[in-house]
């Protein structure tokens, strides 16, 4: 419970879209946001600025705990955590024009707040007057040195704190005195500067009768129509966050918890941000969803520095085959209207119940510019047939991976019936199929990724990397053994022009056993670690990454083709984001702004998806888009 100023946390103000200044326009996923925030807890603070290049602490001319930002984002107000000299400092965001506001008493815990036009600074303090040392609301000019003056006339006992502003109407907390202390019940008051009227905010109770609003930490929405506040729950150490419609006087509970701190509005009025002990939360008032804004005593404050939030998007169908179709629908437009990167040139097809011949398919699909699709051995799944007809122009090539014992001849017939051209890439072994695919891509590769085909993990990550690397191929070992087809392929290359990258421990052993030089290695303790090392090797500052389950291979195969050309494929379990995957997302957060989760929540939990997306956003700020059947499009670079 945090009902007084004893907890040393700065104000929580939500980052918000700069591109949607109109409060009535909801933010689009990935719209630019503006972010300056304070990070710290009791024993010290740092002010951090985030932009497109990442985050970095900075010192805004003596302020190391930002408490407020003017509405235009040009001016900051705050204090130094190491100085208790009854002063609030204001400064432009570039560190110029510093001023000091002196409090004629002791500075209390209420955060300063700028007037809507930025000319004044409101705050509260324990100010001595004829009635003793009282908690008073104060006001001072925001652009020059001054001593703060009382905002309201003196009262016998004054217990006013936590003022917020909107479009000219202010809200604050008035606490009933007990003796000379402000320890009684708290009420929400409204103040209109033009008239000087101070009145209680009122709401309708369950009987429809107007009653004063009991609560604290009030904040009026940017358009002045709603008020959010906190209220303690009877007989409990918990509080609830409530919102009041000032016109209808109806209120409702939004969130319940312990150790909550003041809620603030995003400038577009859609979101609320509030502290919960040493974390910050974001509540979407449209969907009701609550996301984390970051841990580690981080308090975001919106300002005029533009950043781009991470966008997590889940692409999925009802099963593995339709998830593959969903990845195609998500990435490619219909042939009749497609252009540029959204036009599919080919499609790659493999069977849906065995991974071997399809392992290099993601690399082929990525390099050739098409989706990776799955189908039963006996014939085309109806959804796949419809997708081929949708995205491919007449005569386009559909690569079929594996011989007719892997994918039946009936599939070729069905492809021709669609006006398309089937092309088989196959061999007597998985290794031979891999070499056939490699030769289809290029006769002079610049890089060859080698991974075992006895398991699917390493090869799937290698396929996504190959699809994003110009003139790259994937070929296979079989566990620790290098098949003759692969050895012959590698020995036939001009090694002065081609480097060989071993992906995973089995490939390392197989290549060494065959006396084939290894130029680079991605070999982790676990499959997610190997995928992470390969991502570090193959991608410099990627804009996107895909996340797929490691429990099965289908989603990672089609997801690898989806992300090819954009970024790496990372692995997770249904309920856990492995440390290697998490570390990669964190390390590349400055460039990553899309995390594509392939598969439904039955294969990767929502918590895993949200965690992955939050790691790439500034202090966890992210949007999440649900794309069932691939129908909701979000740019992935």
Which tens digit of pLDDT belongs to each residue from 203-231?
A: 999 899 999 999 988 988 878 899 999 99
Q: Tell me, what's the pLDDT at 2?
A: 33
Residue 475 pLDDT grade (very low, low, confident, very high; cuts 50, 70, 90): very high
Q: Do 282 and 271 touch, CB atoms closer than 8 A?
A: yes
Asked if residue 10 is part of any domain, the answer here is no
The alpha carbon dihedral of 529, 531, 534, 538 has a sign of: negative
Same domain (yes/no): 246, 348: no
pLDDT of residue 236: 67
Residue 330 and residue 460 in one domain: yes
Q: Which of 102-116, 172-186, 294-308, 508-522 has the highest mean pLDDT?
A: 508-522
Share of the chain above pLDDT 90, in %: 52
Residue 185 CB partners (closer than 8 Å, separation 6+): 175, 176, 214
124-152 burial, b at 16+ Cβ within 10 Å, e below that, comes to: bbbbeeeeeebbbbbbbbbeeebebebbb
The overall average pLDDT reported for the chain is: 83
Q: Is the dihedral angle over the CA atoms 381, 387, 390, 395 positive or is it negative?
A: negative
Number of DSSP helices (H) and strands (E) in the chain, helices first: 12, 42
Which residues neighbour 418 within 8 Å (Cβ) at sequence distance 6 or greater?
385, 388, 389, 392
Instruction: Return the pLDDT at 1.
Output: 29
The 3-state secondary structure of 149-177 reads: EECCCCCCCCEEEEEEECCCCEEEEEECC
Same domain, 157 and 267: yes
User: Is 636 inside any structural domain?
Assistant: no
- Rounded mean pLDDT of 591-600? 93
**Does pLDDT of 527 surpass 90?**
yes
User: pLDDT grade, residue 482 (50/70/90)?
Assistant: very high
How many angstroms separate the CA atoms of 539 and 461, rounded?
A: 12
Structural domain includes residue 634: no
- Residues 6 or more apart whose Cβ sits within 8 Å of residue 169: 190, 191, 192, 220, 224
Which structural domain, as residue segments, surrounds residue 462? 312-628
What region does 369 belong to: left with phi over 0, alpha with psi -120 to 50, or beta? Answer: left
Mean pLDDT of 190-205: 90
CA angle in degrees (0–180, nearest 5) for 52-92-276:
65
* Helix/strand/coil (H/E/C) assignment for every residue in 189-245: EEEECCCCEEEECEEECCCCCEEECECEEEEECCCCCEEEEEEECCCCCCEEEEEEE
Could you give phi then psi for residue 425, rounded to 5 degrees?
-125, 110
Decide if 494 is inside a domain: yes
Answer yes or no: are the C-beta atoms of 171 and 128 closer than 8 Å. no
Q: What is the mean pLDDT of residues 446-457?
A: 96
| The most confident of 48-52, 70-74, 503-507, by mean pLDDT | 503-507
pLDDT band at 56 (very low <50, low <70, confident <90, very high): low
Model pLDDT, residue 119: 87
Q: What is the pLDDT of residue 32?
A: 59
Please report the DSSP string for 553-577 in residue order. SHHHHHHHHHHTTT--EEEE-SS--
For 147, the 3-state DSSP assignment is strand
**Per-residue model confidence (pLDDT) at position 562:** 96
Q: Which range, of 172-176, 177-181, 241-245, 468-472, averages the lowest pLDDT?
A: 177-181
Number of folded domains in the chain? 2
Provide the pairing of β-strand 45-51 with 54-58: antiparallel
Tell which wins on pLDDT, 284 or 566. Answer: 566
Residues 393 and 479 in one domain: yes
Q: Kindly state whether residues 299 and 405 are assigned to the same domain.
A: no
Pairwise CA distance, residues 359 & 355, whole Å = 6
**Tokens 């056939």 sit on residue:** 436
Q: Are residues 431 and 458 in the same domain?
A: yes
- Residue 259 CB neighbour total at 10 angstroms: 16
N- to C-terminal Cα distance for the chain?
A: 44
pLDDT at 630: 96
- Distance CA(196)–CA(190), nearest Å, equals 10
Domain shared by 429 and 393, yes or no? yes
Q: What is the pLDDT of residues 78-123, one digit of tens each?
A: 776 555 556 788 887 667 888 888 887 765 545 688 887 788 888 8
Q: What pLDDT does 33 receive?
A: 54
Query: What is the reported pLDDT for 308?
Result: 57
Rounded distance between C-alpha atoms, residue 256 and residue 260, angstroms:
9
The reply to whether 189 and 152 lie within a common domain is yes
DSSP code at position 382: H
354 plus 287 within the same structural domain: no
Q: Verify that 300 and 358 share a domain, yes or no.
A: no
Question: Token pair for residue 224?
Answer: 């002045």
**Residue 1 counted as domain residue:** no
- 114, 68 contact by CB (below 8 A): yes
Phi, then psi, of 313 in degrees rounded to 5: -135, 130
> Quick check: is 68 in a domain?
yes
Crossing angle of helices 554-563/457-468, nearest 10°?
A: 10
Q: State mean pLDDT over 521-536.
A: 96
Cβ neighbours of residue 143 under 8 Å, at least 6 residues apart?
Answer: 75, 90, 97, 99, 119
- On the 0-12 / 13-18 / 19+ scale of CB atoms within 10 A, 606 is middle
- The secondary structure element, H or E, covering residue 314 is strand 310-316
**CA-to-CA distance for 520 and 522, rounded, in angstroms?**
7
Residue 22 has a pLDDT of 31
Is the pLDDT at 136 greater than 90? The verdict is no
Instruction: Report percent pLDDT > 70 for the chain.
Output: 80
What is the C-alpha to C-alpha distance for residues 181 and 219, in angstroms, rounded to an integer? Answer: 24
The angle at the Cα of 206, spanning 169 to 2, to the nearest 5 degrees, equals: 55
Highest mean pLDDT among 79-93, 244-258, 268-282: 244-258
Tokens of 81: 């955590």
Has residue 3 been placed in a domain?
Answer: no
Least Cα distance to 242 among 222, 259, 223, 217 occurs for 217
Q: Span 19-23, mean pLDDT?
A: 31
Q: Single out the residue in 308, 324, 347 at which a domain terminates.
A: 308
For residues 219 and 227, the answer to whether their CB atoms sit within 8 Å is yes
- Three-state secondary structure call for residue 49: strand
Look at the block and give the residue holding tokens 């997610």.
Answer: 528
Residue 154 reports pLDDT greater than 90: no
276 and 425 co-located in one domain: no
Of 308, 327, 352, the domain-final residue: 308
CB-based contacts of 184, cutoff 8 Å, min separation 6: 159, 175, 176, 177, 178
Q: What is the mean pLDDT of residues 617-635?
A: 83
State the CATH number of the domain containing residue 159: 2.120.10.30
Residue 602 clears pLDDT 70, i.e. is over it: yes
Confidence bin at 529 (pLDDT 50/70/90): very high
Give me the count of residues in the chain. Answer: 637
pLDDT score, position 5? 27
Domain co-membership, 428 together with 486: yes
Answer with the one of 257, 291, 308 that is the final residue of a domain: 308
State the pLDDT confidence band at 14, using cuts at 50, 70 and 90: very low
Cβ–Cβ < 8 Å for 482, 455: no
Euclidean distance between CA atoms 592 and 579, whole angstroms:
17
Listed residue (418, 368, 375, 423) closest to 393, CA to CA: 418
Q: Which residue has the higher pLDDT, 428 or 26?
A: 428
pLDDT at 626: 94
3-class SS at 510?
Answer: helix
Q: Could you tell me if residue 2 is inside a domain?
A: no
The whole-number pLDDT of residue 449 equals: 97
Would you state the pLDDT for residue 57? Answer: 56
- pLDDT band for position 36 (cuts 50, 70, 90): low
Rounded to the nearest 10 degrees, the angle between the axes of helix 382-391 and helix 320-331 is 10
Q: How far is CA 46 from CA 110, 234, 246, in A?
A: 19, 37, 37
**Gap between the Cα atoms of 615 and 502, Å rounded:** 28
- pLDDT category, 193, cuts 50, 70, 90? confident
- 23 pLDDT band, cuts 50/70/90, is very low
- What pLDDT is recorded for position 614? 83
Segment 158-171 shows an average pLDDT of: 78
Rounded to two decimals, what is the model's pTM?
0.63
């Amino acid at each position: 419970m945090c009902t007084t100023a004893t907890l040393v946390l700065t104000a929580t103000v939500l980052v918000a879209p700069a591109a949607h200044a109109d409060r009535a326009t909801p933010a689009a996923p990935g719209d630019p946001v503006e972010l300056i925030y304070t990070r710290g807890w009791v024993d010290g603070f740092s002010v951090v600025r985030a932009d497109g290049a990442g985050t970095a602490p900075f010192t805004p001319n003596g302020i190391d705990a930002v408490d407020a930002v003017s509405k235009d984002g040009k001016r900051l107000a705050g204090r130094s955590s190491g100085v208790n000299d009854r002063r609030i400092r204001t400064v432009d965001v570039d560190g110029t024009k510093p001023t000091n506001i002196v409090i004629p008493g002791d500075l209390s815990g209420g955060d300063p707040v700028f007037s809507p036009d930025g000319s004044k600074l409101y705050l509260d303090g324990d100010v001595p007057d004829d009635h003793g040392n009282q908690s008073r609301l104060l006001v001072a000019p925001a652009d020059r040195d001054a001593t703060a003056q009382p905002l309201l006339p003196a009262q016998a006992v004054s217990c006013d704190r936590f003022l917020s502003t909107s479009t000219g109407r202010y809200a604050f907390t008035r606490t009933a005195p007990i003796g000379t202390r402000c320890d009684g019940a708290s009420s929400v008051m409204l103040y209109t500067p033009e008239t000087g009227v101070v009145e209680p905010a009122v709401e309708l109770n369950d009987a429809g009768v107007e009653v004063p609003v009991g609560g604290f930490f009030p904040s009026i929405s940017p358009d002045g129509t709603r008020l959010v506040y906190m209220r303690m729950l009877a007989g409990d150490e918990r509080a609830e966050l409530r919102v009041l419609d000032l016109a209808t006087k109806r209120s409702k509970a939004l969130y319940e918890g312990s150790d909550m701190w003041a809620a603030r509005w995003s400038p577009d009025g859609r979101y609320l941000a509030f502290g919960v002990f040493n974390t910050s939360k974001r509540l979407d008032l449209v969907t009701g969803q609550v996301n984390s804004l970051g841990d580690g005593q981080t308090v975001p404050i919106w300002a005029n520095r533009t950043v781009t939030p991470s966008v997590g998007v889940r692409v999925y169908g009802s099963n593995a085959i339709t998830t593959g179709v969903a990845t195609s629908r998500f990435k490619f437009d219909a042939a009749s209207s497609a252009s540029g990167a959204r036009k599919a040139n080919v499609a790659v097809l493999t069977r849906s119940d065995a991974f071997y011949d399809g392992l290099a398919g993601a690399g082929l699909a990525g390099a050739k510019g098409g989706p990776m699709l799955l189908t039963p051995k006996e014939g085309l799944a109806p959804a796949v047939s419809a997708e081929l007809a949708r995205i491919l122009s007449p005569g386009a090539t559909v690569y079929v991976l594996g011989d007719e014992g892997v994918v039946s001849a009936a599939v070729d017939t069905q492809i021709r019936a669609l006006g398309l051209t089937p092309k088989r890439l196959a061999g007597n072994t998985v290794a031979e199929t891999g070499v056939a695919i490699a030769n289809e891509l290029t006769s002079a590769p610049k890089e060859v990724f080698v991974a075992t085909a006895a398991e699917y993990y390493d090869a799937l990550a290698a396929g996504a990397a190959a699809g994003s690397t110009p003139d790259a191929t994937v070929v296979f070992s079989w566990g620790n053994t290098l098949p003759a087809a692969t050895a012959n392929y590698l020995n036939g290359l001009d090694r002065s022009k081609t480097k060989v990258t071993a992906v995973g421990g089995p490939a390392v052993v197989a290549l060494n056993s065959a006396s084939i030089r290894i130029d680079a290695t991605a070999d982790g303790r676990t499959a997610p670690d190997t995928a992470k090392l390969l991502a570090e090797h193959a991608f410099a500052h990627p804009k996107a990454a895909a996340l797929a389950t490691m429990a099965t291979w289908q989603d990672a195969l089609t997801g690898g083709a989806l992300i090819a050309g954009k970024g790496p494929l990372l692995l997770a379990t249904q309920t856990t984001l492995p440390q290697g995957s998490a570390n990669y997302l964190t390390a590349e957060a400055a460039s990553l702004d899309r995390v594509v989760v392939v598969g439904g929540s039955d294969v990767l939990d929502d918590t895993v998806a949200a965690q992955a997306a939050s790691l790439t956003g500034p202090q966890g700020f992210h949007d999440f888009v649900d794309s069932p059947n691939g129908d909701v499009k979000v740019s992935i670079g």
